[in-house]
Structure 1
Amino acid sequence: MTDVPPLAVDIDGTLTDGQGAIDHRTLPVLREWPAPVVVATGKSLPYPIGLCHFVGIEGRVIAENGGVVALAETDTLRFEGDREAAAAVADAYVEAGYSLGWREIDFVNRWRETEIAVARDQPLAPLESIAAEHGLEVVDTGYAYHVKSPDVSKGRGLEVVAGELGVDPEAFLAVGDSENDVSTFDVAGEAVAVANADDAALAAADRVTDSNYADGFLEAIGADSR
């Protein structure tokens, strides 16, 4: 039996450097963590599944801010949220003269199953207004505006994962940096925000690291950052 807790970790802003690239020092830490590791992100499913594959860890994933939950060892693949409503919001936003802000080949949304993401350089107020008309909300992760169902969250996803693993959600250590990590922080027994986190995550965390980005993650889990 180990005293090391299961780990729920965000990707962007937490495992990355200040330029958005995965910090290579985090990879062996994830691979060698002696308890279950859950990757919880706002990205669509292929990104965290690919990360788990190339790190060499079991595919335990919360994607799309809780809209998708996947666990390889239990053959679990669950979808929550209203993708049709999110697509309707995107269509109405474009019809109103705005843009989702991505390239013509939109890899950000191409594989999304439960939500739509809009670039942060696009107007937020009309997006929020249109989303509300469709019963949805907009979450700013610091990397995109995510149009999603209000009852979907990473925290709910972590509860599903914990149930599948037979682990109490409060056993988890959660590390993140954004508003979309607050629900994870509320569910986990210990919540750590890296120093670059937004105000919502900082306020919800049990503790805040001195270091930013991946350095903050390594500090949070007590790893040597050299």
Structure 2
Amino acid sequence: MLPAGGRANVLPPLAVDIDGTLTDDRRALDARVIPALREWAAEAPVVVATGKALPYPVALCEFLATPVRVIAENGGAVYIDRGDAGDGDLRFTGDREAAAAVARDYEAEGYDVGWGRTDFVNRWRETEFAVAHDSPLEPLERIAADHGMSVVDTGFAYHVKSPDVDKGQGLRAAARVLDRDPAEFVAVGDSENDAELLALVGRSFAVANADAAARTAADTVCEAGYGDGFLEAVETVRTEFAD
């Protein structure tokens, strides 16, 4: 089925997660996704939507040599290149101070956020805070609620964020800059933090390693997982749009 506004033989814009979707189970980028992303970006906008801090998806776009169009920090940070290098909008949404307060109170109760002395996971975050999976979840959720914050499991970490910030809201902002309707997009993801994005777009895929929330939100669950699942989704969409 074509997304709303879609036309045969014209690829729709794409929104895609990184970890667990473009990678293997060790978060290593699957090299086969590189030409697939470049080829798609040559025909239609590609937006990278991740829970990582802003520098990571920006760097991915730079190394792919595609326009920098990113949703980072689970929707808290959005930058969309309008087409001319450096001509884009950067916006931040979320309460970074509240997220940092949650982390301080969590550590004050004797818990470790889990990233060691040099914390590159949180070093460049602007809108949220991430805690390692090895750290206890229940006290983190309790403390976050006390600060009016929520916790989302990305499959690789627990992210403390504002409740009204998610990748779906990030895509709405990105779509406005690109003069597109979110329903025109195809999206591919794998975890709870992708659910709002997958439910928003016109055509959505969860790779086979996806959690229950992503599977429920997606139109299609791929037979393959990780990078193989993304490539399966790409081939499915290309076939549909060629018909």
TM range (shorter): over 0.9
What is the letter of the counterpart of residue 38 of structure 1?
V
For residues 167 and 188 of structure 2, the distance between their equivalents in structure 1, rounded to whole angstroms, comes to 12
Residue equivalent to 1:134: 147
**Equivalent position SS for 1:222:** helix
What is the letter of the counterpart of residue 52 of structure 2?
K
Alignment of 1:35-114 (within 5 A): 35-73=44-82, 74-114=87-127
For residues 72 and 103 of structure 1, the distance between their equivalents in structure 2, rounded to whole angstroms, comes to 34
RMSD: 1.0
The CA deviation string for residues 123-179 of structure 1, in whole angstroms up to 9 with x for no partner, is 000000000000000000110000000000000000110010001100000000000
Tell me whether 1:10 sits opposite 2:10 in the alignment. Answer: no
Q: Cα offset for 1:72?
A: 2.4
The CA deviation string for residues 90-119 of structure 1, in whole angstroms up to 9 with x for no partner, is 000000000100021000000000000000
**Equivalent position SS for 1:97:** coil
What is the letter of the counterpart of residue 104 of structure 2?
D
Aligned length: 223
Q: TM-score, normalising length from structure 1?
A: 0.97
Query: Comparing both chains, which one has the higher relative contact order based on Cα–Cα distances under 8 Å and sequence gaps of 6 or more?
Result: 2
Q: TM-score, normalising length from structure 2?
A: 0.90
Alignment of 1:197-212 (within 5 A): 197-212=210-225
For residues 156 and 18 of structure 1, the distance between their equivalents in structure 2, rounded to whole angstroms, comes to 27
For residues 181 and 202 of structure 2, the distance between their equivalents in structure 1, rounded to whole angstroms, comes to 9
Unaligned runs of 5+ in 2: 1-6, 237-243
For residues 139 and 98 of structure 2, the distance between their equivalents in structure 1, rounded to whole angstroms, comes to 16
Percent pairwise identity:
62
For residues 221 and 204 of structure 1, the distance between their equivalents in structure 2, rounded to whole angstroms, comes to 18
Runs of 4+ in structure 1 over 6 Å off: none
For residues 171 and 134 of structure 1, the distance between their equivalents in structure 2, rounded to whole angstroms, comes to 36
For residues 194 and 3 of structure 1, the distance between their equivalents in structure 2, rounded to whole angstroms, comes to 23
Unaligned runs of 5+ in 1: none
Tell me whether 1:20 sits opposite 2:27 in the alignment. Answer: yes
